[in-house]
Amino acid sequence: MNFDPSTYWEALFSWPFLRGAMLTLGLTVAAHLMAILIALPLAVVLNGPPSVLRRLITVYVGFFRAVPTLLQLLFVWNALPQIFPVFREEWFTPFLAAWIALSLNESAYQVEINRAALSSIDSGQMAAGQAIGLKRSHIYRYIMLPQALRVALPPTMNEFITLLKLTSLASIISLQELMTVTQINVARTFQFSEYYAVALTWYLVMVYSLMGLQKLVERRFRWSSRTEANALAESRRSRGW
Amino acid sequence: MIRLRNVNKHFGNFHVLQDVSLDILQGEKVVVCGPSGSGKSTLIRCINHLEPHDSGEIIVDGLTVGTPRDVLTVRRTAGMVFQNFNLFPHLTVMENCILAPKLASGVSDKDARKMAEEYLARVHILDQAWKYPIQLSGGQQQRVAIARALCMRPTVMLFDEPTSALDPEMVGEVLDVMSELATGGMTMICVTHEMAFARRIADRVVFMDAGRIVEVAPPEQFFTAPQSERARTFLSQISH
């Protein structure tokens, strides 16, 4: 066996790999947050009555789902500056380009998740909200979204994990994320297994931490289960709700 | 109090309400009955504008239903109780009751809770206030739904088959609460098939068929000597 543990340990906590892992996580969080921000109002419109806007959104969703993510990345990084001179300036970094491309790409998938989650809520909830005289925005904020979140969380987490790994595509536009750093070190030393193991470790740490976070958030949805609602109610009661 | 004049409503090609006119006085209790598909539920859903009517006039407490700026006021004036309770499952009983007063009427958290306690006590369920809806029986959930509606201090209550989704042994507790409400002087419009209840509390019975009001009569007269052939058939079918 030819695995040098000291190379592994040294690289694992070295600045380039730490920075790469942080860039990967940072880009994923930033892109997914933006995607959710774009997707929420679009999903609300899709959940409403037919309109011209609804058709436009359907076209938008189809477009970003059809075009390969790699092509979207390359387009934003290479073609956009060709078309609009503003993007030729210093501020347009690989991180920014990747953020724009991945946000738009991810928003198309997130729209579908949010729409499905909203339409899974019983129509009586909307009617009950209206009947007690709540504004539409309040009905969404306090009644529809909290319930839709429960349905949307697992597929959203799936998307987040997919996106986390998709950020490695940004190595092609020279973003120094985790996989780029790994490739550079491998090319320099030919110590494949050590540096691949470092990348693997960081991806595992990130994904398992997220899964733990998901479990914590899901505890707040125990109201939906006949057997667990009691525990949630009791714990809130003991804290003086 | 409530006035309907030549109200029409279509679902696509289906003419659900045909020239419906009805006046309801302050404090009056009106029971609406009729075969399924006759437009009973649509009628009361038009009164608080959950369903927009196509033509005609509906006036609730001086407000014209359908005027965009009055929609929310009309709904706060008319409380509604649904067949399937429609409690908010992610909120406790107490939170269900204080949501609208806090958001829509700007009542403080403290005052909203005090008012909710008062109404939850009135529907005999205050001891369950900290629970989630899923922990309650159907009858308990429907009583919470009534309390939730009352927390907006409505001047009229609309009931859309409030006991149809309940197990038989839970119908009584909900009807008792409704009777207490009626005794307290609340204006009530109630779509129901509970004929004994109708006989006991209603001032008038409205019988609908195929989108029209066929007969309006005091309960004694309606149940013992219905005027229309259609009402006679209906009553014989439900009293087997």
| Rounded CA separation A33/A84 (Å) | 26
Q: φ and ψ at B189, to 5 degrees?
A: -120, 125
- The closest of A14, A24, A15, A10 to A204, measured between CA atoms, is A24
ipTM reported for the complex, 2 dp: 0.93
pLDDT of A228 reads: 92
Quick check: A240 pLDDT over 80?
no
Nearest chain B CA: its distance from A125 CA (Å): 6
What percentage of residues in chain B have a pLDDT greater than 70? 100
pLDDT of B130 reads: 95
Nearest chain B CA: its distance from A48 CA (Å): 15
- 8 A C-beta contact, residue B173 and residue B143: yes
Q: How many other β-carbons are positioned within 10 Å of the β-carbon of residue B118?
A: 13
Per-residue pLDDT tens digits for B57-73: 999 999 999 999 999 99
- 8 A C-beta contact, residue B160 and residue B44: yes
Eight-state DSSP code of residue A88: G
Nearest chain B CA: its distance from A171 CA (Å): 43
Q: Is A51 on the interface with B (CB under 8 A)?
A: no
pLDDT of A2 reads: 83
Q: Taking CA atoms, what residue in A is nearest to B104?
A: A134
Per-residue pLDDT tens digits for B173-204: 999 999 999 999 999 999 998 999 999 999 99
- Residue in the structure block whose two tokens are 């995607």: A35
Question: What is chain B's Cα-based Rg?
Answer: 18
Kindly report the pTM of this predicted structure: 0.88
How does DSSP assign A96-138, residue by residue? HHHHHHHHHHHHHHHHHHHHHHHHTS-HHHHHHHHHTT--HHH
Mutate to test the interface with B, among A132, A218, A228 (most CBs of B within 10 A): A132
Query: Is the CB of A241 less than 8 angstroms away from the CB of B92?
Result: yes
Q: Mean of the per-residue pLDDT values for chain A?
A: 94
| Residues of chain B with C-beta less than 8 angstroms from the C-beta of A125 | 86, 88
Per-residue pLDDT tens digits for B113-126: 999 999 999 999 99
| Residues of chain A with C-beta less than 8 angstroms from the C-beta of B134 | 223-226, 229
pLDDT of B240 reads: 62
Quick check: A241 pLDDT over 70?
no
Would you state the torsion angle of the CA atoms of residues B151, B154, B160, B164, taken in this order, to the nearest 10 degrees? 40
Q: Is A9 on the interface with B (CB under 8 A)?
A: no
Quick check: B107 pLDDT over 70?
yes
User: What average pLDDT does this structure show over B26-53?
Assistant: 95
Query: Is the CB of A128 less than 8 angstroms away from the CB of B88?
Result: yes
Query: Is the CB of B103 less than 8 angstroms away from the CB of A134?
Result: yes
Q: φ and ψ at B159, to 5 degrees?
A: -115, 120
Query: Is the CB of B134 less than 8 angstroms away from the CB of A224?
Result: yes
Sheet order of strands, B78-81 included: B78-81, B156-160, B187-191, B29-33, B204-209, B212-217
- Residue in the structure block whose two tokens are 């037919």: A50
Query: Is the CB of B86 less than 8 angstroms away from the CB of A124?
Result: yes
Facing residue for A147 by CB, picked from B75, B89, B94: B89
pLDDT of B237 reads: 87
User: What average pLDDT does this structure show over B75-96?
Assistant: 96
| Rounded CA separation A203/A164 (Å) | 8
Retrieve residue B219's tokens: 């309960």
Retrieve residue A146's tokens: 């909290």
Nearest chain A CA: its distance from B220 CA (Å): 32
In sequence order, the 6+-apart residues with CB closer than 8 A to the CB of A4 are A191, A194
- 8 A C-beta contact, residue B164 and residue B139: no
Which residues of B make CB contacts under 8 Å with A? 48, 50, 72-73, 75-76, 79-80, 82, 84, 86-92, 94, 99-100, 103-104, 130-135, 148-149, 152
Quick check: A1 pLDDT over 80?
no
| Rounded CA separation B4/B141 (Å) | 31
Nearest chain A CA: its distance from B172 CA (Å): 23
Query: Is the CB of A143 less than 8 angstroms away from the CB of B88?
Result: yes
| Residues of chain B with C-beta less than 8 angstroms from the C-beta of A128 | 82, 86-88
- 8 A C-beta contact, residue A164 and residue A207: yes
| Rounded CA separation B150/B88 (Å) | 16
Per-residue pLDDT tens digits for A84-112: 999 999 899 999 999 999 999 999 999 99
| Rounded CA separation A126/A115 (Å) | 15
- The closest of B86, B154, B91 to B119, measured between CA atoms, is B154
| Rounded CA separation A176/A167 (Å) | 10
Query: Is the CB of B152 less than 8 angstroms away from the CB of A133?
Result: yes
Q: Is A239 on the interface with B (CB under 8 A)?
A: no
Query: Is the CB of B82 less than 8 angstroms away from the CB of A241?
Result: no
- The closest of B183, B112, B102, B116 to B145, measured between CA atoms, is B116
Q: Taking CA atoms, what residue in A is nearest to B91?
A: A223
Mutate to test the interface with A, among B128, B131, B150, B160 (most CBs of A within 10 A): B131
Query: Is the CB of A125 less than 8 angstroms away from the CB of B88?
Result: yes
Q: Taking CA atoms, what residue in B is nearest to A134?
A: B104
Quick check: B239 pLDDT over 80?
no
Quick check: A191 pLDDT over 80?
yes
Query: Is the CB of B135 less than 8 angstroms away from the CB of A226?
Result: yes
